[in-house]
Amino acid sequence: MNIPFLDLKAQYRTIRNEINPAIQEVLDNTAYVLGKSVAEFEKSFAEMHNAKHCIGLSSGTAGNHVALWALGIGPGDEVIMPANTFIATAWGATLCGATPVFVDCEPESYNIDPEKTELAITDKTKAIVAVHLYGQPADMDRLREIAERHDIPLVEDAAQAHAAEYKKQKAGSLSTVSSFSFYPGKNLGAFGEAGAVLTNDDDLAEKCRKIRDHGAEQKYYHVMQGHNYRMEGIQGAVLGVKLKYLEKWTRERKRAAATYKTFLKDVDDIVLPREMEYADHVFHLFVIRVKEKTPGKPNGERDALRNYLTEKGIATGLHYPVPLHLQKVFEPLGYKEGDLPNAETLARECLSLPIYPELTDDKIEYVCSTIRDYFYK
């Protein structure tokens, strides 16, 4: 059996009768950049989050950048964030000229550790970025309490957490400003690059809107430094249609995750994802850990299992093989191995199994029995 890591075709087939006319309408109106389809999507996405403002952007990376830029973050400032995340979280800070400060994750949720976050605060800290990794919200109450006590804005990178909830509130509605990615493989994916930011702050929203469109108040009248970070009309149309299915697709992801957990629960050599009591995890990724035989000593067990699964037709991923503090690009910041042990262990042990709404239980069973074969045969 061949099981891809992700199957975008399966999803497209179920909605092509709705998506194609929506795209056609954009073509007929030649509204290629921003326009009605983007405005309508922004309105729906804001409503879903009880947010006052949604600003549609050209990517999640743009969202990370715009959020910190609008907060006024610049050279000399420090931005605290987890080390175990996708590189784009860090670009938000570095594109502003600021310095990322990497913090270790909690060993069970894999999200930024609030206590270690507080220890990393200095008088240069100008923002804390929480990432809802793999689709599970970070411990936002504890982070918010710390951020408020130090009078530092809290920002969410919700690129992996569409429709996830923290204590019944949507991820992306739990901070001063949040950013989303609609990259095709995300839980809500465009047909190309797209992203957005959400905020309840009128002033911040106004800045974000200007930044995405060359710092212009009106066309050719530029009142601040900006960029071209506008969302395309076709992406707005696609996202508008797909947003209606997000709840259903999220349920299917949770079903798939539950099936994995059932069939893998007694495999001692792996650690299953832990769902925290405050979180409604939407499983952008289903990440297991393949335990190291000697903790701290890479023994290749994870890579051997990965190779075995590949041979059996099962595609897997690594999210992420190198934590940000050990990336070559951040060498000048002076971090070394051992600085952030939980993030480093996760990098050595993590293995992402296929997950998408259309992944059937019999395919999941096959993945799980193949994993069992590897350990017990």
Give yes or no for residue 110 binding ligand PLP (CB under 6 A): no
The least CB distance from residue 156 to ligand PLP, in Å, is: 10
Which secondary structure element, helix H or strand E, spans residue 170, and what is its range?
strand 169-170
> Nearest Cα to 272, choosing from 294, 256, 252, 288?
288
The least CB distance from residue 346 to ligand PLP, in Å, is: 14
CA distances from 212 to 31, 231, 242, 337 (A): 17, 9, 23, 38
Give yes or no for residue 250 binding ligand PLP (CB under 6 A): no
Half-sphere exposure for 148 (CA within 13 Å, toward CB)? 9
The least CB distance from residue 181 to ligand PLP, in Å, is: 3
Q: How far apart are CA 246 and CA 184, in angstroms?
A: 14
Residue closer to ligand PLP (CB basis): 188 or 205: 188
Helix (H, G, I), strand (E, B) or coil at 314: strand
Which secondary structure element, helix H or strand E, spans residue 129, and what is its range?
strand 125-131
Give yes or no for residue 84 binding ligand PLP (CB under 6 A): no
The residues that bridge with 170 in the sheet, in sequence order, are 165
Selected from 41, 45, 183, 229, the binder of ligand PLP by CB under 6 A is 183
Count of beta carbons in the 10 Å neighbourhood of residue 345 = 20
Give yes or no for residue 131 binding ligand PLP (CB under 6 A): yes
Give yes or no for residue 159 binding ligand PLP (CB under 6 A): yes
Residue with tokens 């220890």: 119
Selected from 137, 153, 172, 195, the binder of ligand PLP by CB under 6 A is 195
The least CB distance from residue 30 to ligand PLP, in Å, is: 25
First to last CA, the chain: 19
Give yes or no for residue 60 binding ligand PLP (CB under 6 A): yes
Give yes or no for residue 156 binding ligand PLP (CB under 6 A): no
Residue closer to ligand PLP (CB basis): 29 or 228: 228
Count of beta carbons in the 10 Å neighbourhood of residue 57 = 31
CA distances from 151 to 127, 147, 261, 308 (A): 9, 6, 40, 50
Q: Which residue's CB atom is positioned nearest to ligand PLP?
A: 60
Q: Which stretch binds ligand PLP (CB under 6 A): 60-68, 115-123, 353-361, 362-370?
A: 60-68
Binding track over 63-82 against ligand PLP, x by CB under 6 A:
-x------------------
Structure tokens at 13: 């087939």
The least CB distance from residue 24 to ligand PLP, in Å, is: 25
Give yes or no for residue 199 binding ligand PLP (CB under 6 A): no
The residues that bridge with 53 in the sheet, in sequence order, are 199
Give yes or no for residue 232 binding ligand PLP (CB under 6 A): no
Q: Which amino acid makes up residue 87?
A: I
Binding region for ligand PLP (CB under 6 A) = 59-61, 64, 85-86, 88-89, 131, 157, 159-160, 181, 183, 193, 195
